Structure 1
Amino acid sequence: MSSSTCLASPLLAHGGRPSPSSKARPFLASQLNAARLSASASTSAGASSPRPLLPAPRASGGEQDDRVQELRVPSSWLTPAEAAQESEWLRETLHKWLDDEYCPEPANVDISNTAARSYYESLTAKESDLGEILLKMVGDLQKLSYQESFHGAFSAANAAVRLISQRMESSSDE
């Protein structure tokens, strides 16, 4: 099946709209970037508080809780052995997700390898903040060519970080 057939068939099947079974959901990189920029501004003003990424749940009386929840990978993933294991997991999982979500194509190998390498470098540098990991991954993925692909650097990095956050959630449930 050609790449154009893979793209056209779900669109034609639903009157030009993406398939309702599509699993793609944006990760909101722009909000992460905005949080990073506002945190940079407060840090340069002398504040040393952690970067806020997500609003905390509402307080019991329905009032907004002023605390924020950060998205950080578990500290156990920051060791070289765990970083290697987690980055290999991401390489395999992202490659499968790209093949399933779009179409199997050679670019998926390059994308998943680059994302995994970037993730490994972040973890071994003791970077646990998912927003920072996302931004580094976007930068690394932007070095690839997407001319023969359905993806781009931002969509691939968002998918990778979403998979990582799902893994974090499932590992915390165990």
Structure 2
Amino acid sequence: MTEPIPPITLPPSQNPELEGEWLKQRLQGWLDAEFIPEAVNQNIAERAAQIFVRQRMEGENDLGSLVIAIVTEMQAFDFSKSFYGEFAIANAVSDLLLESLGIDKCCGQ
């Protein structure tokens, strides 16, 4: 039988605003590098960071719950001027956070 993947818990936030600024910069860099730099990438990164900061300020530390919150709330964002959607953004945020924790996101390791 396969074993469930254990949840990934972020350390409690000491400075959610600083985390949000880090995430905004990293996410915008990823967005710009993945396809082409677009003006809307800044808005996407800013909105995702706002959601992340609010969730962290409310005490959310579970990575899965953070990703679901970003997917859910980014559904209201107008992606019509972008190559991306809410799932791509939430997955990118997850990858960036895993990388920051030193967790290899490849192959379930």
Per the TM superposition, whether the score is higher than 0.5 is yes
Deviation at 1:133, TM superposition (A): 0.3
The number of residues matched between the two structures is 101
Q: Which runs of 5+ in 1 are unaligned?
A: 1-51, 55-68
Aligned to 1:6: none
Aligned to 2:10: 73
> In the superposition, relative to structure 1, how do residues 144 and 121 fare at CA in structure 2: closer, same or farther (>3 Å)?
same
Asked whether the 8 Å contact 1:138–1:154 carries over to 2, the reply is: yes
TM-score by length of 1: 0.55
Q: Take 2:61 and 2:52, find their aligned partners in 1: how far apart are those partners?
A: 10
Pair 74,153 (structure 1): closer, same or farther in 2 beyond 3 Å: same
CA distance in 2, matches of 1:151, 1:53: 29
Query: Does 1:115 pair with 2:48?
Result: yes
What is the correspondence of 1:1-174 to structure 2 with a 5 Å cutoff?
54=5, 69-75=6-12, 77=13, 79=14, 82-169=15-102
TM-score by length of 2: 0.86
- Pick the structure with greater CA Rg: 1
Unaligned runs of 5+ in 2: 104-109
List structure 1 segments (4+ residues) > 6 angstroms apart after TM superposition: none
Q: Which has the higher contact order (CA 8 A, sep 6+)?
A: 2
Identity over aligned residues, as a percent?
A: 30
For 2:91 and 2:18, the matched residues in 1 are separated by 20
